[in-house]
Structure 1
Amino acid sequence: MEKWKVTAAWEQWADRGKLENSTKKQYRSILRTTIEPFFMTRSIASLQVADVEQWLLWMEQDRKLSARTRRQRFSFFSGMMDWAVANEIVSRNPCKNVAGAGSRAREIRDQKSTATRLTTREVLAVLNGAPPRYRAMLWLMAGCGLRLGEAMAVSRDQIDFEEGRLRVDFQIAEDGDTGSGKNSAIRRRHIKARDEGEPGRTIPLPPNVAAELRRHIKNHGVWGPDRLLFPNVTRTGFLYASYFYPKVWMEALRKGQVRYCKAHALRHYYGSRLLYAGVPENDVADWLGHSSTEVLREHYHYIFEGAEQRGRAAIATMLVPGADDPTEASEIA
């Protein structure tokens, strides 16, 4: 077998297939910050289980990376080693026998224990505190569960006011190829993992969110050939996240007197309130754009805790003489 350096194998692995530019950019960053500084000129064939364990410890103690970040980078590294085995660069993947790489379940619990869970009062305060030009965009995140890039990309053609639906199939992403290799140009493209022409997801459009969108269109209009609702403040191009966070999000938090949290907390509010309201998991997963209800359960684990107790209590109050039966009401209707 040819003697490959770890860094060379990583570069080859990271450049395979039709990866998004944003993914390639992330892999280059990982190579620069945590692969090259530790493995340097090491041969990939020389790696042992102890070497990978030492790398994990180094990321924790020297680089001060969170458990989540370490687990993610270990997962990528193991994937690279699997690729090397498949291409006969090495005969085995030492990551398979590594202990202490991190538990996914524990990671989710730790993440959710520290995640900000906004109350309805706080969400409304943030919405009211947002600059008028971009207030409706935050309403889309809290009231329809859109990711920031998806909300930035909303056009008039995606909104069906008559049917009360919103189509989500585009996002603003700072991953366009600039030709310099930095891949940082901003562009509007189909949401990740979808091809041109493939439909995205369709979300119910609540009347209060629709009212905010109508008000926005009346006051601010639309921009460009795609008729975007939220271009940059000068109406000369797309909205950058580097403008949104200090000028829109932080301003909304300050005026609303809400403790710091990421804008993603609005999307989390949407998902949690749907689940609390008893909306079926598969519908919530579809509207949020999750691949499965399993992903949904990971992100909203705390809502499902105590389900057995709630189930027992529900039947105990229903299965008694004189209890209301919703199925009878629907049959009469």
Structure 2
Amino acid sequence: MRSSNPVFSRRGFSRDNGYAGFHAAPQAGGPAVGTQGNPYAGAYAGAPTNPYAQNPYAQQGLQHGAPPQAPAATDRMTMDDVVVRTGATLGVLIVAASLAWALLPVDDANINRSYGVAVVSGLVAMVLGLIQSFKRTPTPALILTYAALEGVFLGVLSSIVDNRIASGAAMQAVIGTMAVFVAVLVAYKAGWIRVNRRFYGFVMAAALGFVGLMAVNMLFMVFGGGDGLGFRSGGLGIVFGILGVLIGACFLALDFKQIETGIAYGAPRREAWLGAFGLTLTLVWIYLEFLRLIAILQSDN
């Protein structure tokens, strides 16, 4: 079963090309985890062992009677791997956003050009994100290019909102995003959030409904003009902005579970890029919802 967020569908650590089963045991030598209620491992419902253990080294070890875990352990994903790659991805995004803010002015003489660059960058970033989502293995260059282009889009959009609609909105959105990340991480580690099938189904249903309503609203805006159905402005805009942040927070919990499961089941080190990619997508989603929400609140005052 794939783990998805409200923007892109992405593959998780339990894909159909050799990932841990729902009732599979963690890789020998790895941390022990419960095998019941794992929503990320639906492809191997009856697998008696962890598919990650089925590698040439493990087979060689079984043939010669040697422990198979030691050779494979050197290439297993760790939390440090995820942290480093997430830092690199977010670092590229932040640098690109800062450069876009500084080099693409949003004054009356240049706003159309800057806005055009932002739209093109955002569309290309979306395409790259979709390509990575459907690839069987993570491609670091693709993920970092996505982060750079997404950074350009966010930099220009943030500059427009901050300079022309709501002063200080960008920094407030950054602080809000960081606060949500820390709060969800603490709640997840403390066991206050339990990611299971019911949680996964609830979040996915809420996200699909949210995205569907936003798509309908956008169509009404394009063909009918104005604010469409009003889901992104006024009182309804505030309600849907808060709902968007809450959905993003739920997807952070899914991301944490996905990463934890990958580590526990001995995912290859390269899969840390998937964790970084997923976290970046979710944080971008939360930031955009905060930015829109702050713009609505300040424009109404």
| TM-score interval (norm. to shorter) | under 0.3
Q: Counting helix residues as a fraction of each chain, which structure ranks higher?
A: 2
* TM-score normalised according to structure 1 size: 0.21
Larger RCO, structure (CA 8 Å, separation 6 or more): 2
